[in-house]
Structures are given as C-alpha cells and as structure tokens.
Structure 1
Amino acid sequence: MAIIVPQLIEKARTQLSELTGLEIGSTLAISKDERGWRVSVEMVEKHSIPDSMDILANYDIWLDEDGNVLEFNRKRLRKRIDTEEVEE
C-alpha cells in the first residue's frame, strides 16, 4: 500500500525529531526523485531570549516508499529574526 503525502510528512518530522533530539518547526518542502521522498524541515536548534534570536536549522530528510529514513542532513542555520529572500 502506498503511503500518502501527509503521512510521509508526519513520519519525516517525527523521525527527524527522534534522531536529532530537536524541536520540530515548519515543513518547508516535499518532493520525489530517484532517491525517494525528500522532505525539508526547519528545526529549532537552540532557544534564545528573545525568541527572535532562536537558532533554526533547515534539514533535508530522505524517505523510502514506506516512510523509512534513508538519510538526513542539515543544510543551513539561521536566526529566527533573519528573513529569507524568496525567488519567484
């Protein structure tokens, strides 16, 4: 039975939190390629006071067709206050 996208996202978020011990932030993207499903998730690396100084990390996690983790890696860090330029 094929797993559906919302289930993949939830599995990716839950497993990444368990593997890293970090708090889940936002889901940034999901796509499928020859390696499997890639889910990009923002995680809270470090809480700060004020909250705008929290350190956030973007992670990519690859899942197989059943939602099992194949690989994950941290792509970048940023402060919550830092805005990103959006390419159109």
Structure 2
Amino acid sequence: MSNTNNTSESQGSEQSSQESHKSQKSQEPQETQHSQKTHETHKARRPRPMEVLREARAQFAELTGMTAESVSSFVETEEGWALEIEVLELERVPDTMSLMASYQVELDSEGQLTGYRRAGRYERGRADGRGGH
C-alpha cells in the first residue's frame, strides 16, 4: 500500500511539475514578443535633428578628411535627410582668399551617410557662396 501512495504522490508531483513547466513556456513567448516589440519600437525611432547633424558632420569628416565649418542647409526627405555642408578646401592668406566648397550630403532615415558630392567651390570672401556676382 505504501507503494501505491508513493506512486500516486509522485504522479501528482510530476503533473504539477509539468504544469509549472508548461506555464513557464507559455510565459516565455509573451515575454519574448514584448521585448521584440520594444526593440522594434526603439529601432524604428527616427533620430532627432541635432543627432543627425552631429553624426553627419562626423561621418563626412571621417570619409573626406575635411571638417565641416557649417551646415547651410538641412532638410528631412522621404528617404532620410539631405544636408549642404560648407568646408575649407584650400587655406590661403589672407583668409578671405581661402577656397571653400559646398557639399550635398545624403543620409538614410537612421542618420547614416549614404552619399555626398561637391556642389560648388568659392572663395571665402565672396558674398554669394555660389560664385554669383
């Protein structure tokens, strides 16, 4: 008889152990789904304009070796961001004769630089940066 009692008790504890394990498994996917949704929401967050500007200047400097003196244009686009960055290309004396360049820079929606091109060159002392008179 004691064998029968032990067997029914051990079966009962096995069942409660299995039920506990099942409930843990059913909770895991919910927790995983929640963390995935949180991660997707965080991942989908569009960077703030100042973050984009700082990162764009840093990426541009790393790629070209030129430091941006200013950002003269900054526009949000469907693909991400578009900037126009002014850089010193050739330093001359006097400083007003230094050669400046304007670069159009494109970034994706996460703020990563996807391309750039020189839009024009001009002397620092020119009133119109486009070389107009």
TM over 0.5, yes or no? yes
Q: Unmatched 5+ residue regions in structure 1? A: none
Q: Tell me which amino acid in the other structure corresponds to 1:38.
A: A
CA distance in 2, matches of 1:39, 1:64: 12
Aligned residues of 2:79 and 2:109 also touching (Cα < 8 A): no
More helix by share: 2
| Length-normalised TM-score, structure 1 | 0.89
1:54 aligns with 2:102: no
1:2 aligns with 2:71: no
CA distance in 2, matches of 1:36, 1:4: 12
The alpha carbon displacement at 1:14 in A equals 1.2
Which has the greater radius of gyration? 2
Aligned residues of 2:88 and 2:99 also touching (Cα < 8 A): yes
Aligned residues of 1:23 and 1:45 also touching (Cα < 8 A): no
Q: Unmatched 5+ residue regions in structure 2? A: 1-44
CA distance in 1, matches of 2:124, 2:61: 19
Paired residues, number: 85
Match of 1:32 among 65, 76, 79: 76
More strand by share: 1
CA distance in 1, matches of 2:70, 2:53: 11
The alpha carbon displacement at 1:34 in A equals 2.7
| Length-normalised TM-score, structure 2 | 0.60
Q: Aligned with 1:17: secondary structure?
A: helix
1:68 aligns with 2:104: no
Query: Per chain length, whose mean CA-contact separation is higher, i.e. which structure has more relative contact order (CA < 8 Å, sep 6+)?
Result: 1
